[in-house]
Amino acid sequence: MAVAKIMAQMQSAFVADEAEGLQATFQFCISDDDDFYVTIGNANCTGNIGNHDDPEITMSMDSETLTEIVSGELDGMAAFMGGRLQAEGDVMLGTRLSQLFKMN
> At 36, is the pLDDT very low, low, confident or very high (cuts 50, 70, 90)?
very high
Q: In this model, does residue 71 exceed pLDDT 60?
A: yes
- Cα distances (Å, whole numbers) of residue 28 to 8, 22, 34, 64, 87: 14, 18, 9, 13, 9
Distance CA 1, CA 70 (A): 10
Main-chain dihedrals φ then ψ at residue 58, nearest 5 degrees: -120, 125
Q: What is residue 1's predicted lDDT score, i.e. its pLDDT? A: 55
Q: What is residue 104's predicted lDDT score, i.e. its pLDDT? A: 64
Helix (H) or strand (E) holding 36: strand 36-41
Q: What is residue 103's predicted lDDT score, i.e. its pLDDT? A: 77
Dmax (CA) for the chain in angstroms is 34
